[in-house]
Protein backbone atom coordinates (compact mmCIF):
# COMPACT_ATOMS: atom_id res chain seq x y z
CA UNK A 1 0.00 0.00 0.00
CA UNK A 2 1.38 3.41 -1.00
CA UNK A 3 0.94 6.05 1.68
CA UNK A 4 0.50 9.59 0.32
CA UNK A 5 2.99 12.16 1.61
CA UNK A 6 1.85 14.29 4.50
CA UNK A 7 2.04 18.05 4.03
CA UNK A 8 1.81 20.64 6.80
CA UNK A 9 -0.91 23.01 5.63
CA UNK A 10 -0.50 25.17 8.72
CA UNK A 11 3.28 25.25 8.59
CA UNK A 12 6.01 26.82 6.48
CA UNK A 13 6.54 26.36 2.77
CA UNK A 14 8.89 27.40 0.00
CA UNK A 15 7.49 28.68 -3.27
CA UNK A 16 9.95 27.63 -5.99
CA UNK A 17 9.53 29.53 -9.25
CA UNK A 18 10.61 27.26 -12.09
CA UNK A 19 10.28 30.05 -14.64
CA UNK A 20 12.74 32.13 -12.61
CA UNK A 21 15.04 29.12 -12.43
CA UNK A 22 14.99 28.83 -16.21
CA UNK A 23 15.49 32.58 -16.58
CA UNK A 24 18.67 32.31 -14.49
CA UNK A 25 19.88 29.40 -16.63
CA UNK A 26 19.29 31.48 -19.77
CA UNK A 27 21.05 34.48 -18.20
CA UNK A 28 24.14 32.42 -17.40
CA UNK A 29 24.10 30.96 -20.89
CA UNK A 30 23.95 34.48 -22.32
CA UNK A 31 26.85 35.59 -20.12
CA UNK A 32 29.02 32.84 -21.63
CA UNK A 33 27.81 32.49 -25.23
CA UNK A 34 30.73 30.35 -26.35
CA UNK A 35 30.34 27.75 -23.61
CA UNK A 36 27.87 25.00 -22.76
CA UNK A 37 25.86 25.74 -19.63
CA UNK A 38 25.43 22.75 -17.32
CA UNK A 39 23.40 22.49 -14.12
CA UNK A 40 24.75 21.44 -10.72
CA UNK A 41 21.89 19.55 -9.04
CA UNK A 42 23.77 17.97 -6.15
CA UNK A 43 22.23 17.72 -2.69
CA UNK A 44 18.72 17.31 -4.15
CA UNK A 45 19.18 20.43 -6.29
CA UNK A 46 20.44 22.49 -3.35
CA UNK A 47 17.58 21.21 -1.21
CA UNK A 48 14.88 22.37 -3.61
CA UNK A 49 13.96 19.06 -5.25
CA UNK A 50 16.01 17.52 -8.04
CA UNK A 51 13.04 15.98 -9.90
CA UNK A 52 11.11 19.17 -10.77
CA UNK A 53 14.29 21.26 -11.07
CA UNK A 54 15.99 18.88 -13.49
CA UNK A 55 12.83 18.28 -15.49
CA UNK A 56 12.32 22.02 -15.98
CA UNK A 57 15.91 22.59 -17.11
CA UNK A 58 15.87 19.60 -19.44
CA UNK A 59 12.52 20.27 -21.06
CA UNK A 60 12.47 24.07 -21.14
CA UNK A 61 16.14 24.97 -21.51
CA UNK A 62 17.40 21.77 -23.19
CA UNK A 63 20.13 21.36 -20.58
CA UNK A 64 22.19 18.34 -21.55
CA UNK A 65 24.75 18.12 -18.74
CA UNK A 66 24.15 17.74 -15.02
CA UNK A 67 26.54 17.43 -12.06
CA UNK A 68 26.02 15.58 -8.77
CA UNK A 69 28.46 14.58 -6.03
CA UNK A 70 27.76 10.92 -5.36
CA UNK A 71 27.01 8.06 -7.77
CA UNK A 72 23.92 7.24 -5.72
CA UNK A 73 22.64 10.74 -6.53
CA UNK A 74 23.46 10.14 -10.17
CA UNK A 75 21.55 6.84 -10.19
CA UNK A 76 18.50 8.53 -8.69
CA UNK A 77 18.72 11.36 -11.18
CA UNK A 78 19.03 9.00 -14.16
CA UNK A 79 15.95 7.13 -12.95
CA UNK A 80 14.04 10.42 -12.64
CA UNK A 81 15.05 11.57 -16.10
CA UNK A 82 13.94 8.29 -17.71
CA UNK A 83 16.36 8.90 -20.56
CA UNK A 84 20.01 8.16 -21.23
CA UNK A 85 20.70 11.28 -23.28
CA UNK A 86 21.76 13.97 -20.74
CA UNK A 87 25.26 13.52 -19.37
CA UNK A 88 25.51 13.07 -15.60
CA UNK A 89 28.94 13.81 -14.15
CA UNK A 90 29.74 12.58 -10.64
CA UNK A 91 32.23 14.75 -8.75
CA UNK A 92 33.10 11.85 -6.45
CA UNK A 93 35.28 9.55 -8.50
CA UNK A 94 34.84 5.78 -8.87
CA UNK A 95 35.56 3.12 -6.28
CA UNK A 96 35.33 -0.65 -6.40
CA UNK A 97 31.99 -0.45 -4.62
CA UNK A 98 30.42 2.17 -6.90
CA UNK A 99 31.66 0.99 -10.32
CA UNK A 100 28.42 -0.95 -10.95
CA UNK A 101 26.38 2.23 -10.47
CA UNK A 102 28.47 4.09 -13.03
CA UNK A 103 27.96 1.25 -15.48
CA UNK A 104 24.27 0.58 -14.91
CA UNK A 105 23.13 4.21 -14.87
CA UNK A 106 25.46 5.60 -17.54
CA UNK A 107 27.28 7.97 -15.18
CA UNK A 108 30.53 9.77 -15.91
CA UNK A 109 33.06 9.93 -13.07
CA UNK A 110 35.21 12.94 -12.34
CA UNK A 111 38.65 11.46 -11.66
CA UNK A 112 40.33 12.96 -8.59
CA UNK A 113 43.52 10.93 -8.25
CA UNK A 114 45.95 8.56 -9.95
CA UNK A 115 44.37 5.67 -8.06
CA UNK A 116 40.92 6.50 -9.41
CA UNK A 117 42.34 6.94 -12.91
CA UNK A 118 44.00 3.52 -12.79
CA UNK A 119 40.84 1.87 -11.48
CA UNK A 120 38.70 3.38 -14.24
CA UNK A 121 41.18 2.46 -16.96
CA UNK A 122 41.54 -1.10 -15.71
CA UNK A 123 37.87 -1.84 -15.11
CA UNK A 124 36.00 0.42 -17.56
CA UNK A 125 38.45 0.76 -20.44
CA UNK A 126 37.70 3.69 -22.71
CA UNK A 127 34.35 4.65 -21.24
CA UNK A 128 34.27 8.47 -20.90
CA UNK A 129 35.48 10.20 -17.75
CA UNK A 130 36.18 13.67 -16.50
CA UNK A 131 39.16 14.80 -14.47
CA UNK A 132 39.36 17.35 -11.66
CA UNK A 133 42.69 19.17 -11.42
CA UNK A 134 43.37 20.92 -8.12
CA UNK A 135 44.82 24.35 -8.94
CA UNK A 136 44.75 25.75 -5.42
CA UNK A 137 41.55 24.83 -3.57
CA UNK A 138 43.43 22.00 -1.79
CA UNK A 139 40.24 20.13 -1.10
CA UNK A 140 39.45 17.65 -3.89
CA UNK A 141 41.02 16.85 -7.24
CA UNK A 142 44.30 15.55 -8.60
CA UNK A 143 47.37 17.64 -7.73
CA UNK A 144 48.99 19.43 -10.64
CA UNK A 145 52.06 17.22 -10.13
CA UNK A 146 49.98 14.11 -10.99
CA UNK A 147 48.40 15.43 -14.18
CA UNK A 148 51.14 14.20 -16.54
CA UNK A 149 50.89 10.65 -15.18
CA UNK A 150 47.08 10.64 -15.49
CA UNK A 151 47.33 11.96 -19.05
CA UNK A 152 49.60 9.03 -20.00
CA UNK A 153 46.99 6.44 -19.06
CA UNK A 154 45.11 6.81 -22.35
CA UNK A 155 41.81 7.50 -20.64
CA UNK A 156 38.87 8.86 -22.62
CA UNK A 157 38.84 12.23 -20.84
CA UNK A 158 35.94 14.25 -22.19
CA UNK A 159 35.95 17.02 -19.54
CA UNK A 160 38.80 18.57 -17.53
CA UNK A 161 37.87 20.91 -14.70
CA UNK A 162 39.13 22.87 -11.74
CA UNK A 163 37.35 24.89 -9.07
CA UNK A 164 37.94 28.49 -8.00
CA UNK A 165 38.54 28.97 -4.29
CA UNK A 166 37.80 32.72 -4.19
CA UNK A 167 35.13 33.30 -6.83
CA UNK A 168 33.01 35.05 -4.18
CA UNK A 169 35.58 37.89 -4.42
CA UNK A 170 36.14 38.56 -8.14
CA UNK A 171 39.18 40.77 -7.54
CA UNK A 172 40.96 38.28 -5.31
CA UNK A 173 44.42 37.54 -6.80
CA UNK A 174 43.98 33.79 -6.28
CA UNK A 175 41.40 33.73 -9.09
CA UNK A 176 43.98 34.82 -11.65
CA UNK A 177 46.57 32.45 -10.19
CA UNK A 178 44.20 29.51 -10.60
CA UNK A 179 43.22 30.63 -14.08
CA UNK A 180 46.85 30.66 -15.21
CA UNK A 181 47.54 27.29 -13.58
CA UNK A 182 44.48 25.74 -15.22
CA UNK A 183 45.50 26.97 -18.65
CA UNK A 184 48.89 25.30 -18.23
CA UNK A 185 47.69 21.88 -17.07
CA UNK A 186 44.54 21.69 -19.22
CA UNK A 187 46.79 21.41 -22.27
CA UNK A 188 47.42 17.82 -21.16
CA UNK A 189 43.85 16.98 -22.24
CA UNK A 190 43.56 18.56 -25.71
CA UNK A 191 40.32 16.76 -26.67
CA UNK A 192 38.41 17.52 -23.48
CA UNK A 193 35.88 20.21 -22.71
CA UNK A 194 37.49 22.61 -20.25
CA UNK A 195 35.58 23.88 -17.22
CA UNK A 196 36.82 26.31 -14.58
CA UNK A 197 33.72 28.38 -13.83
CA UNK A 198 30.85 27.64 -11.52
CA UNK A 199 28.30 30.44 -10.94
CA UNK A 200 30.90 32.94 -9.76
CA UNK A 201 33.29 32.35 -12.62
CA UNK A 202 30.44 32.47 -15.11
CA UNK A 203 29.55 35.99 -13.97
CA UNK A 204 33.17 37.19 -13.66
CA UNK A 205 33.93 37.44 -17.36
CA UNK A 206 34.96 35.52 -20.45
CA UNK A 207 38.49 34.76 -19.24
CA UNK A 208 36.97 32.15 -16.91
CA UNK A 209 34.40 30.63 -19.25
CA UNK A 210 36.32 28.07 -21.35
CA UNK A 211 33.99 25.37 -22.78
CA UNK A 212 31.62 24.45 -19.96
CA UNK A 213 29.94 26.41 -17.14
CA UNK A 214 28.87 24.49 -14.03
CA UNK A 215 25.95 26.66 -12.92
CA UNK A 216 24.96 26.18 -9.30
CA UNK A 217 23.81 28.75 -6.73
CA UNK A 218 22.92 31.42 -9.32
CA UNK A 219 20.44 29.01 -10.91
CA UNK A 220 18.52 28.91 -7.66
CA UNK A 221 18.45 32.67 -7.14
CA UNK A 222 21.39 33.08 -4.79
CA UNK A 223 24.44 35.25 -5.37
CA UNK A 224 27.87 33.58 -5.52
CA UNK A 225 29.45 36.88 -4.47
CA UNK A 226 29.77 38.78 -1.20
CA UNK A 227 27.13 41.22 -2.46
CA UNK A 228 23.89 40.74 -4.36
CA UNK A 229 23.92 40.56 -8.16
CA UNK A 230 20.98 42.16 -9.96
CA UNK A 231 21.39 39.80 -12.90
CA UNK A 232 20.09 36.93 -10.76
CA UNK A 233 16.31 36.47 -10.41
CA UNK A 234 14.95 35.24 -7.04
CA UNK A 235 13.67 31.67 -7.30
CA UNK A 236 12.80 30.62 -3.74
CA UNK A 237 10.45 32.32 -1.29
CA UNK A 238 10.34 30.98 2.27
CA UNK A 239 6.94 31.77 3.78
CA UNK A 240 4.96 30.89 6.89
CA UNK A 241 1.62 31.90 8.42
CA UNK A 242 0.94 34.02 11.48
CA UNK A 243 -0.57 31.71 14.09
CA UNK A 244 -0.93 34.03 17.09
CA UNK A 245 -0.92 37.73 18.00
CA UNK A 246 -0.04 39.05 21.41
CA UNK A 247 0.13 42.43 23.19
CA UNK A 248 3.11 43.07 25.48
CA UNK A 249 3.38 45.60 28.29
CA UNK A 250 6.67 47.40 28.96
CA UNK A 251 9.08 45.14 30.81
CA UNK A 252 7.70 41.86 29.46
CA UNK A 253 10.05 39.50 27.67
CA UNK A 254 9.82 37.26 24.62
CA UNK A 255 11.01 33.71 24.10
CA UNK A 256 13.72 31.48 25.51
CA UNK A 257 16.34 33.23 27.57
CA UNK A 258 14.23 36.42 27.75
CA UNK A 259 16.63 38.03 25.28
CA UNK A 260 14.07 40.62 24.15
CA UNK A 261 12.59 43.03 26.69
CA UNK A 262 9.74 45.32 25.67
CA UNK A 263 10.61 48.94 26.40
CA UNK A 264 7.13 50.15 25.38
CA UNK A 265 3.80 48.55 24.50
CA UNK A 266 4.46 45.99 21.77
CA UNK A 267 2.48 43.79 19.45
CA UNK A 268 4.05 40.46 18.56
CA UNK A 269 3.12 38.07 15.77
CA UNK A 270 4.07 34.42 16.22
CA UNK A 271 4.85 32.65 12.94
CA UNK A 272 4.97 28.90 12.27
CA UNK A 273 8.66 28.61 11.34
CA UNK A 274 11.73 27.74 13.39
CA UNK A 275 15.19 26.25 13.37
CA UNK A 276 13.57 22.82 13.07
CA UNK A 277 12.56 23.99 9.58
CA UNK A 278 16.05 25.24 8.78
CA UNK A 279 15.71 28.90 9.74
CA UNK A 280 18.97 29.68 11.58
CA UNK A 281 18.82 30.46 15.28
CA UNK A 282 21.54 33.05 14.63
CA UNK A 283 18.85 35.29 13.10
CA UNK A 284 17.38 35.88 16.56
CA UNK A 285 16.90 39.62 17.27
CA UNK A 286 18.74 40.44 13.99
CA UNK A 287 16.88 39.34 10.88
CA UNK A 288 13.53 40.46 9.51
CA UNK A 289 10.50 39.23 7.61
CA UNK A 290 8.01 40.94 5.33
CA UNK A 291 4.32 41.00 6.28
CA UNK A 292 1.77 42.82 4.12
CA UNK A 293 4.58 44.59 2.31
CA UNK A 294 6.23 45.90 5.47
CA UNK A 295 9.37 44.84 7.33
CA UNK A 296 8.96 43.22 10.73
CA UNK A 297 12.10 42.51 12.82
CA UNK A 298 12.59 39.22 14.63
CA UNK A 299 12.06 39.77 18.35
CA UNK A 300 13.42 37.16 20.75
CA UNK A 301 15.10 33.87 20.01
CA UNK A 302 14.21 31.65 17.10
CA UNK A 303 12.85 28.43 18.60
CA UNK A 304 12.42 25.02 17.01
CA UNK A 305 8.90 25.66 15.71
CA UNK A 306 8.17 29.37 16.02
CA UNK A 307 9.53 32.84 15.34
CA UNK A 308 8.15 36.00 16.94
CA UNK A 309 8.05 39.23 14.96
CA UNK A 310 7.73 42.81 16.16
CA UNK A 311 4.70 44.16 14.26
CA UNK A 312 4.04 47.13 16.56
CA UNK A 313 4.66 49.87 13.99
CA UNK A 314 3.23 48.22 10.88
CA UNK A 315 0.74 50.48 9.09
CA UNK A 316 -1.29 47.42 8.14
CA UNK A 317 -1.32 45.24 11.27
CA UNK A 318 -1.31 41.51 10.52
CA UNK A 319 -4.12 39.10 11.19
CA UNK A 320 -4.07 35.40 11.98
CA UNK A 321 -3.18 33.45 8.80
CA UNK A 322 -1.46 36.42 7.17
CA UNK A 323 1.79 35.39 5.51
CA UNK A 324 5.33 36.34 6.49
CA UNK A 325 8.10 36.08 3.88
CA UNK A 326 11.54 35.36 5.34
CA UNK A 327 13.34 35.56 2.01
CA UNK A 328 12.17 35.78 -1.56
CA UNK A 329 11.21 38.49 -4.06
CA UNK A 330 10.35 40.91 -1.24
CA UNK A 331 13.45 40.21 0.87
CA UNK A 332 16.72 39.08 -0.76
CA UNK A 333 18.01 35.73 0.46
CA UNK A 334 21.49 37.29 0.57
CA UNK A 335 20.33 39.82 3.19
CA UNK A 336 18.61 37.18 5.30
CA UNK A 337 21.67 34.94 5.07
CA UNK A 338 23.98 37.74 6.23
CA UNK A 339 21.73 38.49 9.21
CA UNK A 340 21.85 34.80 10.12
CA UNK A 341 25.64 34.39 9.71
CA UNK A 342 24.97 32.20 6.68
CA UNK A 343 25.27 32.26 2.90
CA UNK A 344 22.48 31.55 0.38
CA UNK A 345 23.86 28.05 -0.20
CA UNK A 346 23.03 26.85 3.28
CA UNK A 347 19.78 28.80 3.50
CA UNK A 348 18.53 26.61 0.65
CA UNK A 349 20.15 23.29 1.53
CA UNK A 350 19.18 23.72 5.18
CA UNK A 351 15.44 23.86 4.54
CA UNK A 352 13.89 21.13 6.67
CA UNK A 353 11.53 18.31 5.83
CA UNK A 354 8.49 20.16 7.21
CA UNK A 355 8.97 22.94 4.66
CA UNK A 356 6.56 22.07 1.85
CA UNK A 357 8.18 22.68 -1.56
CA UNK A 358 5.57 24.23 -3.86
CA UNK A 359 6.50 24.59 -7.54
CA UNK A 360 5.14 27.64 -9.31
Binding-site annotation, residues for substrate? 139, 304
- Tell me, rounded to whole angstroms, the distance of Cα 154 from its chain centroid: 35
Active site (annotated) includes residue 42:
yes
Q: Is 152 a catalytic residue?
A: no
Contacts made by residues 349-354, CB under 8 angstroms, sequence distance 24+: 349/43, 349/46, 349/47, 350/47, 350/278, 350/280, 351/14, 351/47, 351/48, 351/238, 351/277, 351/278, 352/276, 352/277, 352/278, 354/8, 354/11, 354/12, 354/276, 354/277
| Burial environment of residue 85 by CB neighbours within 10 A (0 to 12, 13 to 18, 19 or more) | exposed
The pairing of beta strand 253-254 with beta strand 87-90: unpaired
What whole-number distance in Å separates Cα of residue 179 and Cα of residue 207? 8
- Cβ count near 82 (within 10 Å): 7
CA distance 280 to 155: 45
- What residues form the annotated binding site? 139, 304
Catalytic annotation, pick one of 152, 174, 220, 256: 256
| Active-site hit among 42, 46, 208, 345 | 42
Report the catalytic residues.
42, 256
Amino acid sequence: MNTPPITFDGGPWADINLSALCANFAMIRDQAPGAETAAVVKCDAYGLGSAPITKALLEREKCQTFFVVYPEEGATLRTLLKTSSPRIFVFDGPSEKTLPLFDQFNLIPVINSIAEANLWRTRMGVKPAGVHIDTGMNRRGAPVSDVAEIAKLDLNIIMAMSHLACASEPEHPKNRMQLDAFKDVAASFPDAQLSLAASGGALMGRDYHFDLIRAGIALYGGTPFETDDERITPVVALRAPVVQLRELAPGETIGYGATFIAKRPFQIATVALGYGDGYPRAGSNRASAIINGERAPLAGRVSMDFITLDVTDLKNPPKIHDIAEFFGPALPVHETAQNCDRVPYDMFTGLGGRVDRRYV
